[in-house]
Structure formats: C-alpha cells, structure tokens
C-alpha cells in the first residue's frame, strides 16, 4: 500500500434526479468546470460523452483476446490432432477444417469474454477483495453524485459549489469536499 501520497480533494455535488444531473453535467462544463465523474445507481445513456470521457477501448481488447483465443485453439488442435496423437475420425483427415471450427469458436469466445472481464476489472480497480472508494454511499440507492477534481480546476471550491447549486445540486447539505487518497 503506497499510502504516503497526499490525498486528493474532490467536490461532490448531490442530485436527486437523473435529468438534473445530466443537465448539470452539460451546463457546468459550459461554465468552465471540469467534471471528473458522475456516480449513479443505474447506467445513464451517453453520460460518458457528456462528461467528455474518451471512448472505451474495450472493443480493441476484445478483438485482441478473441484473436488470441483463435490462435490458441488452432495451435492446440494442430498439436493434438497432427503432432502428438493423430487420429482419424469418420474417415476424415485429422485436420479436417470443419471439425476445427466449433472448438476454435468456443475458445475464441471464452478467451474473449474472460479477457474482457479481466481488463474491465483491472482498469476499474475492481475485483474480489477490493473495496471501491465511494464519494457518497447514497449513489447506490437513489442519489446521483457529480464529482469535480479540484486540482484540475482553476476555480475555487466555493465558486464551483455555487455553480453546482445553480444547476440543481442539493443544498441541504451543500456540495462537500471529499478527500481520496
């Protein structure tokens, strides 16, 4: 645990409706505030593009893992059926291509799926035993949190807080600063 780092400061504004937080994300950025992330109890369509997150590269990872699976399966079949223990089944050549397809397909899908899950868990710092840092526990229930990284913004916490409230953030309690190490 490299915990010696200085904790970063975030400003967390709480919203009580999906539409409010989506509107806030769009308008807050027009007022010059850089939004770090939005936390929601459910997926919100296009919220990543509103925040300005780059597009996910998981399809590229998927393709790579899939290709790995294909190559792995073909190598395996060729080794087993041609090199290690050639077998003639149904009078066909040991490397009869149609018979290779189902295994290749399954291996492709398997490696692709497992690899994608692993990539997703690693990039999001999730997984068994990991405890996700939460800016506000209520985002698992019925609230929406708009998180602003104060270091990436030139505006002060007060100013940003005013802007968040202007676009519908809850005032009781007002947006608060959360430290994350």
CB closer to other proteins, 47 vs 169: 47
Number of residues interacting with other proteins: please give it, by CB under 8 A: 14
> Using CA atoms in the order 134, 135, 141, 144, what is the torsion angle rounded to 10 degrees?
-140
Comparing CB distances to other proteins, the nearer of 60 and 126 is 60
Please name the residues in contact with 40: beta carbons below 8 A apart, sequence gap of 6 or more. 18, 21, 47, 139, 144, 145
Using CB under 8 A, pick the residue from 7, 17, 41, 49 that binds other proteins. 49
| Chosen residue from 30, 46, 131, 137 binding other proteins by CB under 8 A | 46
Count of alpha carbons within 13 Å of 20, Cβ hemisphere only?
A: 19
For residue 107, which of 80, 60, 71 has the smallest C-alpha distance? 71
State in angstroms the smallest separation of the CB of 22 from other proteins.
Answer: 11
Q: How many CB atoms lie within 10 A of CB 161?
A: 20
Maximum alpha-carbon separation in the chain: 80
Q: Which of residues 64-123 bind other proteins (CB under 8 A)?
A: 89-92, 96, 98-99, 101-102
**Is residue 137 classed as helix, strand or coil in its secondary structure?**
helix
Instruction: Kindly tell me which of 14 and 24 has the beta carbon lying closer to other proteins.
Output: 24
The smaller minimum CB distance to other proteins, of residues 46 and 137, is found at 46
**Least distance in Å: CB of 146 to other proteins?**
19
How far is 42 from 24, CA to CA, in rounded Å?
A: 17
Q: Could you tell me the two tokens for 47?
A: 């919220």
Cβ closest to other proteins, residue 86 vs residue 174 = 86
In whole angstroms, the minimum distance from the beta carbon of 44 to other proteins comes to 12
Residues 2-31 that bind other proteins (CB under 8 A): none
At closest approach, how far in Å is the CB of 69 from other proteins?
15
Quick one: DSSP state of residue 9? E
Residues that bind other proteins (CB under 8 A): 45-46, 49, 59, 63, 89-92, 96, 98-99, 101-102
């Amino acid at each position: 645990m490299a915990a010696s780092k200085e904790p970063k400061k975030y400003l967390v504004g709480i919203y009580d409706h999906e539409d409010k937080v989506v509107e806030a994300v769009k308008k807050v950025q027009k007022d010059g505030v850089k939004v770090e992330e939005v936390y929601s109890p459910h997926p919100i369509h296009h919220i990543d593009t509103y925040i300005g997150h780059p597009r996910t590269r998981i399809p590229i990872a998927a393709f790579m893992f899939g290709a790995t699976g294909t190559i792995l399966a073909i190598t395996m079949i060729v080794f087993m059926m041609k090199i290690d223990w050639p077998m003639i089944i149904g009078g066909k050549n040991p490397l009869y291509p149609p018979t290779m397809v189902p295994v290749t397909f399954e291996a492709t899908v398997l490696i692709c799926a497992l690899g994608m899950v692993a990539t997703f868990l690693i990039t999001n710092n999730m997984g068994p035993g990991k405890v996700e840092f939460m800016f506000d526990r209520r985002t698992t229930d019925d609230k929406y949190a708009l998180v602003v990284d104060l270091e990436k913004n030139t505006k002060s916490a007060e100013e940003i807080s005013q802007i968040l409230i202007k676009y519908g953030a809850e005032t009781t309690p007002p947006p608060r600063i959360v430290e994350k190490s």
